[in-house]
Amino acid sequence: MPNGRPLVLLQESLLGKSAAAVLTREALIAELEDAGRNLAKPLHRLTEASDEPERIDANAANMLQRMHEPLLSLRAWVLMSESDDAVSIDPALLEDFIHFVAMARSLAEFHGAPEPQRLMHLIGLAQVRTRLETHVGLTPAIDVSLLSRAPGLNIVEIAAVCSLKLTTVRNAVSRREMPYVKNEGVALDDVLDWMVQRSGFLYSHINATTRNRRINGRLVNEELKRSKAVEFERCISRLRLSLWRMQKGERRLALNAEGIRNCVLLLPAIAPERIADLGLEQLEDRSDDPAASMHREALGLAPGESLWQCHVPTLGVLESLLGRLNQ
C-alpha cells in the first residue's frame, strides 16, 4: 500500500458491462503483453545492469510465456458460474502473476501511463469470488485471498460481480434493499441474498450450497434435475415453466425455470393447509384468477381443480415441500 493507500483492483470504469465483455481473451492478452514490454527493461537492468536489446527481448518473452497460463486459468475461473475443481493454478505461479500485475501498475502510475486495468479487475473479481465461496464453506478452486479490511462487500464489488452500474447499486442501498454500513459494506449473508436476484450475478451457484440462502427459479430448476424426489415431465416454453411429477403419487408442480427474482411454484390440486407451515411465501389461490387461465390450460387441470401459487425462499423450504408432497 504505497503512501498508506490500499491497492484498488476493481475498476469503476469497467462497471456496468458483463465481465465476459470486459475480460475478453484478446483484451487481457494485449494488456499483459504491454505490461510485460514495459517491465522488461527496468527488471533486466535491476538484475543484470545492462541495456542489451536482445537479452531484454528474450527476458520479456520468457516472462510473458510464464504469465499466459495463470492469466487464462484465472479468467476461466472468474467467468465460470459454477464450481469446477478442474480449474487450478499453481500457488507460486499465481503469486508471480499477482506480483507482475502489481509491479506493472506501480510502474505505470510512476510514469503517468495507462494502468493494466483489466488485469487488475480480473484479480479483483477473483478475490471477491474467493471471499464469497470461503464464507459459505466452499473451497475455492483458485484461492486469491488478498487482504481485505471490510467484513462485507462494498458498492464497487457488488456492482462488479453483478454486472451493474455503480448508480444502480447506490440506488438500491439508498432504498434500503440491503443493509449497508459505512466502512464495512453489506454483510456477506445479506449481499448474497440480494445479488442472487440480479440476472448478471456471476456466482449464483454459491446460494445453492446452503439450506438458508435466498434462491431463484433458475437455481431450483438445476436442483430439481439432481433431485430424486421428482421426475421431469416437460417444458412449457411459452410460459417459461418446467413441469415436474413427484416420484410418489401423481402430484405435479410447475416452476418458473428461468426466474431470477424469485422461485415461483404452481401447485395444482393442493390442500393449502398441508403446506402452510413450511415457510412458503405469498401462498395464494390462483384458481379463479383470469391471468392464470393459461397456466390451467397448460397444466391440463380438470374443471374445479384448484391452482395455488407460492414463492419458495430457500433450498431448506424446498426440501421440506418436496418431502411433504411425496408423503
Summarize pLDDT for 300-320 with one digit per residue, the tens. Answer: 888 788 899 999 999 999 999
Whether residue 119 contacts residue 31, with contact meaning beta carbons closer than 8 Å, is answered with: yes
Q: Which three cell numbers stand for residue 147?
A: 487482504
Q: What residue ranges do the domains of the chain occupy?
A: 2-135, 155-209, 217-325
CA distances from 219 to 145, 207, 278, 314 (A): 27, 8, 19, 10
The pTM assigned to this predicted structure is 0.89
| Mode of pairing for the β-strands spanning 252-256 and 230-236 | unpaired
DSSP calls for 149-166: --SSB-HHHHHHHHT--H
Give residue 120's pLDDT: 97
Q: State yes or no: pLDDT of 322 exceeds 70.
A: yes
| For range 128-136, the mean pLDDT | 94
Which whole number is the average pLDDT over 213-241?
Answer: 92
Give the three cell numbers for residue 15.
Answer: 462497471
Of the pLDDT bands very low, low, confident and very high (cuts 50, 70, 90), residue 7 is low
Residue range 187-199: average pLDDT? 96
- Looking up cell 498508506 gives 4
Q: Which of 30, 126, 35 is nearest to 75 (CA)?
A: 126
> Does the pLDDT at position 272 exceed 70?
yes
Q: What is the pLDDT of residues 16-57, one digit of tens each?
A: 999 999 999 999 999 999 998 888 777 766 676 566 666 666
pLDDT per position as a tens digit, 60-76: 778 888 899 999 999 99
Distance in angstroms (rounded) separating the CA atoms of residues 198 and 281 = 19
Instruction: Give me the residue label for grid cell 501511463.
Output: 113
Residue 1 has pLDDT above 50, yes or no: no
